[in-house]
């Protein structure tokens, strides 16, 4: 419920996403899912006997090199992905975007409107799923799972269930259940909590704010800002990302500040008039950043988690393929995401360090940026190199996981280096 539910595939592309089998597999899943969403909602709505939630179509991606070194190269990767796929898009002059009023020195240099995808409303989608499940006679058990052993699910209230098939799909909370199953201990990458906070906002006068979805490319470490308007002056601003082994319920001031600053400086200062409330959730992030999807060696036990920042978008495609595998019919889940595997690295150490440095120096450049910016970057680079040394990392890891490696929660020796994981 914390998600802005951006339905994005090409807009999530980054330099290098498609150079590794796991990156390609993820992109193919979310691209197929984005295409599936309209029909999927329609078919659920027919079962539920209600109107499908309306999808807001189209997303504008802004390239803002004055804020982040990721923007230009990831924007290029997005354009290339769109061209290669022959996907519908239109280059825009940022000056022509309705309601887009960034600070003059933070105006985007390029913009593209992607027609596929857009956004859905989390409340409407959850309501639809709820009604559909009821109509289908899905029996829901209102209790938390404490552990799973010998094909028996033990609930915290003392009851137990003996299903034929179990799918562990508890988001970031899947980790303790998976690690508690003796046959799987040490065989499945850990799942961490990527705590994210977004803001649900409302403006009494919506005429001064942008009418369409605006976002930046991804900015490393799960960062980047996005603005998702719905109806009646309501909009969603997202989102922070702080990774930890245990859930954190509240945002860090620093990351919330970055979202607010980016929104008001890079999109429009008018947004400051909105009333807002924060919504928090936890992205399930695996030890190598890739999803964990499929059967395990424990008979009847499946896992579907680790979807990071795309889990809602990918849901209909993952669910369809998981059911195909269960029934032995149709396209299955990608090999790259089999849950029992060693965590794989897709970067060499130098590329990993570069990624972490760039993630840590995001922020609007001041006008005297060149000298102070270079000094800051040098200092950050030394810090990041120390963290890599402390973790004993000889290959690169996702920027948001570096602290977990340096603090000894994750272990460099478990990683398959990039030359073996291609």
Ligand X SMILES: Cc1cc2nc3c(=O)[nH]c(=O)nc-3n(C[C@H](O)[C@H](O)[C@H](O)COP(=O)(O)OP(=O)(O)OC[C@H]3O[C@@H](n4cnc5c(N)ncnc54)[C@H](O)[C@@H]3O)c2cc1C
Interface ranges with ligand X (CB under 6 A): 2-6, 144-145, 169-171, 173, 196-198, 238-239, 281-284, 305, 307-313
* Phi, psi of 350, rounded to the nearest 5 degrees: -60, -40
Q: Least CB distance from residue 268 to ligand X, whole Å?
A: 20
Angle between helices 21-48 and 122-136 (to 10 degrees): 60
Q: Minimum distance from CB of 271 to ligand X (Å)?
A: 17
In the complex with ligand X, which residue's Cβ is closer, 36 or 309?
Answer: 309
257's tokens:
């500040």
Residue at shortest CB range from ligand X = 311
- Give residues with Cβ within 8 angstroms of 375, minimum separation 6: none
Rank residues 224 and 418 by Cβ distance to ligand X and give the closer one.
224
Pairing of strands 56-63, 214-215: parallel
CA dihedral (8, 238, 38, 171) positive or negative: positive
Question: What is the closest distance, in whole angstroms, from the C-beta atom of residue 212 to ligand X in the complex?
Answer: 16
Tokens of 75: 């924007």
Question: Least distance in Å: CB of 180 to ligand X?
Answer: 10
Minimum CB separation of residue 55 from ligand X in Å reads 13
The β-bridge partners of 200 are: 236, 277
The span from the CA of 47 to the CA of 50, in Å, is 8
Q: Extract the tokens encoding 214.
A: 């605006």
Nearest-angstrom CA–CA distance, 226 and 259: 9
Could you give the angle at the alpha carbon of 85 between the alpha carbons of 83 and 90, nearest 5°? 45
Residue closer to ligand X (CB basis): 15 or 305: 305
Question: What is the sign of the dihedral through the CA atoms of 67, 70, 73 and 78?
Answer: negative
Nearer to ligand X, 20 or 308 (CB): 308
Cβ 230 to ligand X shortest distance, Å: 13
Q: Which is nearer to ligand X, 3 or 67 (CB)?
A: 3
Residue 284 or 289 having the CB closest to ligand X: 284
Angstrom distance (rounded) from CA 244 to CA 190: 11
* Closest distance to ligand X from the beta carbon of 173 (Å): 3
Give me the residue label for tokens 């290959």.
395
Q: How far is the CB of 199 from ligand X (least distance, A)?
A: 9
If the CB atoms of residues 220 and 284 are measured against ligand X, the closer one turns out to be 284
Residue with Cβ nearer ligand X (166 or 268): 166
Q: What is the DSSP letter of 271?
A: G
């Amino acid at each position: 419920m914390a998600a802005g539910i951006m339905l994005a595939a090409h807009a999530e592309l980054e330099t290098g996403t498609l150079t590794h089998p796991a990156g390609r597999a993820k992109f193919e899943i979310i691209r197929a899912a984005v295409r599936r969403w309209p029909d999927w909602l329609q078919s659920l709505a027919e079962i539920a006997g209600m109107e499908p939630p309306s999808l807001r179509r189209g997303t504008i991606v802004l390239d803002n090199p004055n804020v982040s070194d990721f923007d230009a190269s990831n924007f290029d990767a997005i354009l290339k992905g769109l061209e290669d796929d022959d996907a519908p898009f239109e280059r825009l002059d940022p000056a022509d975007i309705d309601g887009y009023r960034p600070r003059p020195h933070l105006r985007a240099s390029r913009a593209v409107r992607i027609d596929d995808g857009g956004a859905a409303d989390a409340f409407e989608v959850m309501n639809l799923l709820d009604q559909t499940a009821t109509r289908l006679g899905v029996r829901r058990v209102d209790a938390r799972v404490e552990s799973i052993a010998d094909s028996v699910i033990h609930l915290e209230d003392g009851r137990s269930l003996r299903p034929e098939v179990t799918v562990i799909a508890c988001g970031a909370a899947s980790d303790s259940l998976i690690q508690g199953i003796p046959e799987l201990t040490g065989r499945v990458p850990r799942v961490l909590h990527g705590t994210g906070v977004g803001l649900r906002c409302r403006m009494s006068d919506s005429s001064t704010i942008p009418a369409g979805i605006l976002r930046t490319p991804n900015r490393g470490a799960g960062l980047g800002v996005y603005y998702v308007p719905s109806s009646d002056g309501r909009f969603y601003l997202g989102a922070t990302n702080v990774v930890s082994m245990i859930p954190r319920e509240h945002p860090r001031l620093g990351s919330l500040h970055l979202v607010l600053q980016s929104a008001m400086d890079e999109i429009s200062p008018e947004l400051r008039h909105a009333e807002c409330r924060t919504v928090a959730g936890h992205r399930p992030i695996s030890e190598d950043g890739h999803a964990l999807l499929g059967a395990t060696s424990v008979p009847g036990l499946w896992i579907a988690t680790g979807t990071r920042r795309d889990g809602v978008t990918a849901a209909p495609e993952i669910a369809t393929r998981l059911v195909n595998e269960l029934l032995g019919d149709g396209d299955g889940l990608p090999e790259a995401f089999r849950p029992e595997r060693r965590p794989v690295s897709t970067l060499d150490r130098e590329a990993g360090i570069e990624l972490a440095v760039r993630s840590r120096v995001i922020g609007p450049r001041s006008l005297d940026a060149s000298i102070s910016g270079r000094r800051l970057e040098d200092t950050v680079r030394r810090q990041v190199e120390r963290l890599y040394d402390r973790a004993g990392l000889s290959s690169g890891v996702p920027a948001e996981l570096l602290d977990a490696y340096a603090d000894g929660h994750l272990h460099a020796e478990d990683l398959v280096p990039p030359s073996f994981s291609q």
